[in-house]
Amino acid sequence: MPGCGISTWGQAMDNTLLSLKDVRAGYGPTQVLQGISLDVKAGERLALIGRNGVGKTTLLATIMGLTTLHGGSVSWEGKPISGLPPHKRAGLGLGLVPQTRDIFKSLTVEENLISGIRGDARLEEAYELFPRLKERRRNGGGQLSGGEQQMLAVARTLMGHPRLLMLDEPLEGLAPVICEMLMGVFERLASEGRTVILVEQHAEMALKFADRGVVLESGRVVHEAPAAALAKDGEVLGRYLGLGLVS
């Protein structure tokens, strides 16, 4: 029943894919996230922004199950996943491209891609998205440029067929032409129906891409708004990012 909003059971349809409730998490005894509640809908594009060290990477890592959860809960399609290890979460459809671009430098491009395959994913999907990786498929991961390493990190995560793609500062340190190419790929992946959480220091690009922007500060969500409105909110951008208007 498209557009109706009522399920056959007479309840409001809820297309929430991921839900965090009062999440407190960190590294061992160190708590970084101070009570984060956040819902992400299927097909949504979320930009997660904030200054260095506010907890953006920790939040993505917590969603993936890579941190110590001190309290609160994480659920996926309404079911709790807080107790699941990262590989089980990957199996459910969560995918993270880490800020550190964790590719295997001693393996070839193709071997890196194979290491990420789940189910019926095919190498050609990655090569069609990133023709450059096909040209470099016999090269070692350590021989790639920064941009190629990022392409490989994204492609390897896509080999797991994630429904939620979490991208942690994918444009960091890359030339503008590579940033544009990658943003074009992310546009395509989102338009195919994937849910995307994009963490970026390039707030302008992130908010142009996203439907909604969420601002973090000291491990808390301090502001949330439609991305287009946030891009014009000089007061909020100035206070939490030290930026002027981004559009």
**202 touching ligand ATP, by CB under 6 A:** no
Residue from 44, 55, 150, 162 binding ligand ATP (CB under 6 A): 55
d(CA 91, CA 94): 7
243 token code pair: 């930026």
Beta pairing, strands 30-41 & 164-168: unpaired
Of Mg ion, ligand ATP, none, which one sits near residue 138, judging by CB under 5 to 8 A according to partner kind? none
Sheet strand arrangement including 212-217: 94-97, 164-168, 195-199, 45-49, 212-217, 220-226
CB of 154 to Mg ion, least distance (A): 16
Q: Is 37 left (phi over 0), alpha (psi -120 to 50) or beta?
A: beta
Count residues near ligand ATP (CB under 6 A).
Answer: 12
**57 touching ligand ATP, by CB under 6 A:** yes
CB of 25 to ligand ATP, least distance (A): 10
Residue from 57, 67, 157, 195 binding Mg ion (CB under 5 A): 57
Nearer Cβ to Mg ion (159/200): 200
Of Mg ion, ligand ATP, none, which one sits near residue 73, judging by CB under 5 to 8 A according to partner kind? none
Contact 208, 231 (CB under 8 A): yes
On the 0-12 / 13-18 / 19+ scale of CB atoms within 10 A, 220 is: middle
Nearer Cβ to ligand ATP (53/83): 53
CB of 54 to ligand ATP, least distance (A): 4
Q: Where are the beta strands (DSSP E) in the chain?
A: 16-27, 30-41, 45-49, 68-76, 79-80, 94-97, 164-168, 195-199, 212-217, 220-226
CB of 230 to Mg ion, least distance (A): 19
**67 touching Mg ion, by CB under 5 A:** no
**149 touching Mg ion, by CB under 5 A:** no
d(CA 61, CA 49): 15
**67 touching ligand ATP, by CB under 6 A:** no
Of Mg ion, ligand ATP, none, which one sits near residue 93, judging by CB under 5 to 8 A according to partner kind? none
CB of 215 to ligand ATP, least distance (A): 11
Length of the chain in residues, anyone?
247
Residues at the interface with ligand ATP (CB under 6 A): 27, 30, 32, 50, 52-58, 99
Residues at the interface with Mg ion (CB under 5 A): 56-57, 99
